[in-house]
Structure 1
């Protein structure tokens, strides 16, 4: 699979303007320097960010024109690198913080999580059991996924929200006792261990991004 180091303008031109179509307007101008450009499918072992850094450090944007398969999590909490995937993305998790992330469609074993109000996380149709939003710019369509508002008690667009909704639905091991929200690290640890996160009789949810 060809790998190139390109400028943002050159990478955008190679994709017919697809990068600027999804990244421009999401906050400030992207201002990306080096783009690590994978033309075709890409498979990585372990943590996505660690694997990318082993290939080349200091990359500001990773572009995969085909499918991306990661045998581990995708967790991009710093503002660089961003991620664009033109094909199907498969990983343990998709976690976004200050980075800009855009994927076409995907399958995520445990969750999709958007944290904090910088950056953005946008997807096509994804399969995942959980979508957790902490005041993030999220545009995620996950049919059948259970949605958690982990920032405030607004349950209009979520199955579970901060306060009684989370406290009553989830096992105490994954609930922050002071803020009455999910402790996402503990939540993810239990999912990885195959342990229950919902109390017996709690609603299944399933808003699915509707």
Structure 2
């Protein structure tokens, strides 16, 4: 690992106190019953190679027992790979700037400040939350998720079908705009894995001549 604060194992109450109440101010279940027990606490900047959760597990010796419920980085978080947190634990809080290949969230609570993500931000499923400051990314994909994302210039894809303000939405909008390799023909939505593989390969995802609408500067 190129650069890392030394991790500490803290209770949620202790971690929250060290951050002046910042955790309980943003996470659901805040206060006396936050729903988190063990916190892996990095006081400072953290840089990791590869998949975020895999790198965290390796940092802890590869022992899956006693998995942490919340990861806290007080400084900047830089991941030379994806941040993909789809299970309900661990949650993630970053006090500084976050940079990674992707930011992907499912049932977990994720709260970061400003950041940059090479390929996309993706929120999946109607549990958990993904909240950011101002982030740089070309694509934001929402599948019925609680997302408070400020991504000026990003293209927004509603992969569920309930956002009238999205640039592209389930149905004809997606089918007509994107190359067939990244479209789920049955559900008429993006196949996010295929979409991401194509982005990583530097291949186009939009059909020639498709409109390249951009979203409004702020989506909350």
* Common topology (TM > 0.5): yes
TM-fit CA distance, 1:24:
2.6
* Residue 118 (structure 1) aligned to one of 127, 150, 154: 127
d(CA) in 2 for partners of 1:48, 1:6: 20
Matches within 5 A, 1:170-189: 170-189=178-197
Give ranges in structure 1 of 5+ residues lacking alignment: none
Matches within 5 A, 1:58-97: 58-97=67-106
TM-score calculated relative to the size of structure 2: 0.91
How many pairs are equivalent? 207
Q: Deviations over 1:110-154 (max 9, x none)?
A: 0000000010000000000000000000000000000000001x4
Give RMSD over aligned pairs.
1.3
Give ranges in structure 2 of 5+ residues lacking alignment: none
Partner of 1:34: 38
d(CA) in 1 for partners of 2:143, 2:34: 22
Partner of 1:209: 218
* Residue 141 (structure 1) aligned to one of 141, 150, 153: 150
- Verify the 8 A CA contact 2:29 2:35 in the aligned structure 1: no
TM-score calculated relative to the size of structure 1: 0.95
TM-fit CA distance, 1:53:
1.1
Between stretches 48-57 and 108-117, larger displacement belongs to: 48-57
Q: Does 1:108 align with 2:117?
A: yes
Structure 1 stretches of at least 4 aligned residues deviating more than 4 Å after TM superposition: none
SS at match of 1:40: coil
d(CA) in 2 for partners of 1:74, 1:100: 13
Q: Deviations over 1:42-99 (max 9, x none)?
A: 0000000001111234111100000000000000000111000000000000000001
